[in-house]
């Protein structure tokens, strides 16, 4: 068996084109331009790359975009003051604070200070709670992108056994909840899980999101499984995922590459969430 590739770049392009068309419609007929504010604190190189990518993506689809680059010496109070200003800024429909934040700044406090209706990252407790309850909410971008990729296989997820490796609030936990909503049977594994291989071997769907290079070997993959690799780490200058791609692609039915799989989808789902926020706020 040779797995089909779930091409995140291609799928993202299709979705972004649809977003761009809708933005043009909103501008032309209602005078609405979706606006996203991205705040970054400190000088983490990877974070600045991500922010630059988000800014470019906003510009390409026609969003209003504002980027706030704050020095690492920024205090928690100063950051909260900026968020207050953005919460009341009518041009801004979505607010994203790039993680990680410097030591001394409470990420949970910062995320909880963003108005839920502008929380396009889906990290506010209100949105997290609504997701768990099955109510309409902003869904964290990476899990949302993961589910979109899985749905592109057009396979019925009802009753499928999904194994999510990773229990972060940003990816693992919400990915598990989304798969439950699709009627999959979900197992969440983590660093304390005993006999990880046993769990993965039973999975019809594997979602790896821990950032441990090639943790999931090819012989752990069930024949015909859908494999989503959301982990990324640089090894000898090369971006590597959690899954041993070449080995796993010989067993899986569908698989995402690293790079070019989940990554592009994350930014695209951010655009979707921002568009949704703009439309909701103007109703």
User: For residue 158, which of 186, 187, 182 has the smallest C-alpha distance?
Assistant: 182
Catalytic pick among 119, 121, 229, 242: 121
Residues near 44 by Cβ (< 8 Å), separated by ≥ 6? 100
Q: Enter the tokens of residue 256.
A: 């995402």
User: 24 with 272: CB under 8 angstroms?
Assistant: no
Catalytic entry in 10, 43, 45, 54: 54
Whether residue 95 contacts residue 37, with contact meaning beta carbons closer than 8 Å, is answered with: yes
Q: Locate 248 and state its tokens.
A: 């796993």
Could you please report the per-residue DSSP string of the chain? Answer: --PEE--HHHHHHHHHHHHHHHHHHHHHHH----EEEEEEES--HHHHHHHHHHHHHHHHHT-EEEEEEE-TT--HHHHHHHHHHHHT-TT-SEEEEPSSPPTTS-HHHHHHHS-GGG-TT--SHHHHHHHHHT-S-PPPHHHHHHHHHHHTTT---TT-EEEEE---TTTHHHHHHHHHHTT-EEEEE-TT-S-HHHHHHT-SEEEE-S--TT-B-GGGSPTT-EEEE---EEETTEEE-SB-HHHHTTT-SEE--SSSSHHHHHHHHHHHHHHHHHHHHT-
CA dist., res. 208 & res. 200, Å (int)? 10
Active site residue 222: no
Catalytic-residue membership of 54: yes
Q: Which residues are catalytic?
A: 54, 98, 121
């Amino acid at each position: 068996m040779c797995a089909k590739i779930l091409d995140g770049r291609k799928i993202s392009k299709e979705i972004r084109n649809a977003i761009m068309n809708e933005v043009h419609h909103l501008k032309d007929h209602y005078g609405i331009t979706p606006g996203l504010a991205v705040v970054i604190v400190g000088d983490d190189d990877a974070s600045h790359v991500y922010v630059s990518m988000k800014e470019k993506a906003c510009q390409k689809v026609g969003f209003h975009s504002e980027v706030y680059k704050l020095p690492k010496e920024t205090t928690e109070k100063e950051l909260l003051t900026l968020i207050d200003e953005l919460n009341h800024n009518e041009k801004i429909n979505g607010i994203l604070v790039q993680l990680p934040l410097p030591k001394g700044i409470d990420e949970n406090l910062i995320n909880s200070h963003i108005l839920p209706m502008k929380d396009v990252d889906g990290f506010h407790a209100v949105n997290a709670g609504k997701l768990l309850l099955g109510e309409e909410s902003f869904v964290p971008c990476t899990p949302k992108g993961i589910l979109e990729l899985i749905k592109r296989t057009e396979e019925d997820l009802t009753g499928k056994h999904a194994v999510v490796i990773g229990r972060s609030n940003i990816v693992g936990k919400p990915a598990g909840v989304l798969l439950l909503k699709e009627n999959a049977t979900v197992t969440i594994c983590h660093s304390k899980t005993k006999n990880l291989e046993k769990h993965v071997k039973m999975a019809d769907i594997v979602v790896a999101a821990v950032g441990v290079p090639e943790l999931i070997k090819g012989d752990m993959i069930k024949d015909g499984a859908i494999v989503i690799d959301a982990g990324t780490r640089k090894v000898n200058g090369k971006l590597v995922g959690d899954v041993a791609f070449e080995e796993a692609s010989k067993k899986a039915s569908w698989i995402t590459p690293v790079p070019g799989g989940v990554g592009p989808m994350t930014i695209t789902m951010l655009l979707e969430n921002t568009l949704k926020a703009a439309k909701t706020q103007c109703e």
